[in-house]
Structure 1
Amino acid sequence: MKTIDKLHNPISFIKEQIASSLLQTKTSKQEKIHPFWVMVQKETADHIRSWRFIILLTLIVLTCFGALYTSIGSLQEALSNTKDPNHAFAFLKLLTATDGTLPPYHVFIGFLGPLLGISLGFDAINSEMNNGSLVRIMAQPVHRDYLINAKFTAALITISMLFFSLSLLFVGCGILVTGLTPSPEEFLRILAFTVLSILYVSFWLNLSILFSVKFRQAATSALTSIAVWLFFTVFYQFAVNIIARALIPANGVDPMKMLGYKKLIMGLMHIVPSQLFNDATTTLLVPSVRSLGPLSYSQMYGAIPSALPLKESLLIVWPQLTGLIAATVLCFAITYYLFMRREIRA
């Protein structure tokens, strides 16, 4: 009788078929979503909605616009110097020029970027353990490494969206205010600087997640991460200067020995992630930089001051990029090892 009623009322029958097909399509789409990406979506939404991310985002945006304002004020003076080998790269001066009141844009990124990475990762694991949610997550039919991978992937997606949006916003405001348009090479250099910034912040993100796995209290992991950041940013330079004064004598010394001392000091400084970031940033945003270490007279003799192409600049900063990638991968590998071997109980 129900089949006969449906045949007599075809409209209701068609509606039921459409509704059932839509329900099956929605169910099939939900089944195709991998559990790992469900965890990534949840973690990304938590990062974007958190107050600490909003506060740091506001701080970074305000300081970057302040740096843009000071660079615009000193742009005319920088462009008037026709002897500058970077004179053709006028748009890049928005990221490097300053009148002395505020540091340039890349300096703010190098200072506030680690704080952003630390804030996104210092309580990634220990907060889940303290509130008991980690046990409930691990009780689900998902692999354990999904959680630690989702934590890093979600934070990396958030950082990438932030820096790419900020760079494009910076470029757009620079075009509207100054009327200058970046050349293709300048735009590629800005994109390379953005990728470098994401990689630099990712190192501090992995370091903070490592301390989050190591320590049970979020306050302890946060203070340890900030202490490491302050040591490498401030105190490590003091230690290197003390070593330099002890090695280099005050009286005259052989130039070859002096060059060896300087190479040793540069090698010690290249352990610091912030120094690697500063060297790579300077080379990418200032195309006339030809070397990041002490040069001999034979290397400098006959060199014409001019800007290098982007490919040559990337070759110069390749050791710095490799160092940052290696440090990031090492931190993530240690974090992965400690988390997979950690005992999780209710």
Structure 2
Amino acid sequence: MKNLVTSLNNSSPFGVMVRKEIAGHIRSWRFIVLLMLLLLTFWGSMYISLSNIRTAVSNAKDPDALFLYLKLLTTTDGTLPPFHVLLNFLGPLLGISLGFDAINSEQQGGTLTRIMAQPVYRDNLLLSKFVSALLMLSVLFLALAMLMTGGGMILTGVRMEPEEVLRILSFIVLCVVYVGFWLGLSILLSIRFRQAATSALTAIGIWLFFTVFYQIVISLAVKAFIPRSHALSESDVLHYNEIILNLLRLAPSQLYTDATTTLLMPSIRSLGPVTMEQMSGAIPTPLPFVQSLMIVWPQVSGLIAATMVCFALSYYLFMRREIRS
């Protein structure tokens, strides 16, 4: 990490390529349109949350009522979903748009051969594509979080608790990791396919499958194996529900939903089915940040591992690719 920061600060070929990629993204109409769409979604969600924040906080039975700034990200009146739910839908589009033509457009335009003729390494070129997009995403999500907290402080006058800061920062990191997975997948497809349109359609098809059809396929597959000859006991129901949840967690969107829901709602104690015996005696108080982080760590590590696998495959394919043809 220290060498990466040093390379960005110095006038090294890697730092120059990262700055060039960032400048290219900022000047592109594609990124501007997506940025405007994300900002409109953010402002819409914040307007609805601020309009209903008094009702949410006045609910004395809600153990999360004291976390005002977390309510800004989770409160809704049904008109528009909360911001973290909308980001589950818009995040993959943002990652795909930043990486679907990362390599094949360079090769189709003839610039890849000229870049490789310079004293730069192939891995630096691929890493600059990935790092530049992640830096832009990190700055974007951090700016949105600061706008949210600043607007909440101005309108409510309530100070921010340290645990809220930790949960919101963890939410930002999780969003960057989630979008980074789709960025790594789109870069992998841009190396695999020579046409940008083919890589874009393939990435969007994978996103639609996991977002829309994957849950339907899993439900139908599990129902086909459930015995219908006799009534299921409570343990059997919990067993089948656990199987369904484990299969659904193969989808990145489900991992993101589980992790963000637990981080932004401290009252959630478990992500799996819970029996009445396990719930008996439980005190309805918010969990500390460390315990919530321990609950979502398998989901976070799964997203990080999937991102690393996509980038490793991209590295392998790009290092073996003939770029002069």
> 2:167 corresponds to which residue?
189
| Partner secondary structure for residue 33 of structure 1 | coil
Partner residue, 2:3:
none
Give the CA deviation at 1:142: 1.4
Indicate which of 326, 329, 334 corresponds to 2:305: 326
The equivalent of 1:28 in structure 2 is none
CA distance in 1, matches of 2:231, 2:47: 46
1:8-87 equivalence runs, <5 A: 33-87=11-65
Q: What's the Cα RMSD here? A: 1.4
**Paired residue type of 2:164:** E
TM-score of the two chains, using structure 2 as the length reference: 0.94
Measured in 1, the distance between the counterparts of 2:85 and 2:10 equals 44
Q: Does 1:122 align with 2:103?
A: no
1:266 aligns with 2:222: no
Post-superposition offset of 1:32: 5.1
DSSP-derived class of the 1:304 partner: coil
Question: In the superposition, relative to structure 1, how do residues 112 and 32 fare at CA in structure 2: closer, same or farther (>3 Å)?
Answer: closer
- Secondary structure of 1:165 counterpart: helix
C-alpha separation in 1, matches of 2:227 and 2:60:
40
Trace 1:193-232 onto structure 2 (pairs within 5 A): 193-232=171-210
- Distance, in Å, in 2 between the alignment partners of 1:308 and 1:80 is 20
Corresponding position of 1:316? 295
**Number of equivalences:** 316
- 1:307 maps to 286
Aligned to 1:3: none
- Residues 123-157 of structure 1 show CA distances to partners (whole Å, capped at 9, x for unaligned) of 00000000100001111121111110111111111
Q: Report the residue type matching 1:263 in the other structure.
A: E
Cα distance, 1:249 vs structure 2? 4.6
- Aligned pair partner of 2:78 in 100, 103, 107: 100
Q: Distance in 2 between matches of 1:338 and 1:298?
A: 52
Q: Distance in 2 between matches of 1:248 and 1:64?
A: 42
Alignment deviations for residues 246-265 of structure 1 (CA, whole Å, 9 cap, x no partner): 23356521222222111110
Q: Which moved more, 1:159-168 or 1:327-336?
A: 159-168
Structure 2 counterpart of 1:158: 136
Aligned-pair CA distance for 1:72:
1.3
**2: CA distance, partners of 1:222 / 1:283:** 32
Unaligned runs of 5+ in 1: 1-30
TM-score of the pair, normalised by structure 1: 0.89
Contact 1:43-1:150 within 8 A present in 2 as well: yes
1:288 aligns with 2:267: yes
Distance 2:320 2:67 in 1: 52
Counterpart amino acid of residue 96 in structure 1? T
Aligned with 2:217: secondary structure? helix
**Partners of 2:69 and 2:18 in 1: CA distance:** 37
**In 2, are the aligned partners of 1:248 and 1:258 still within 8 Å (CA)?**
no
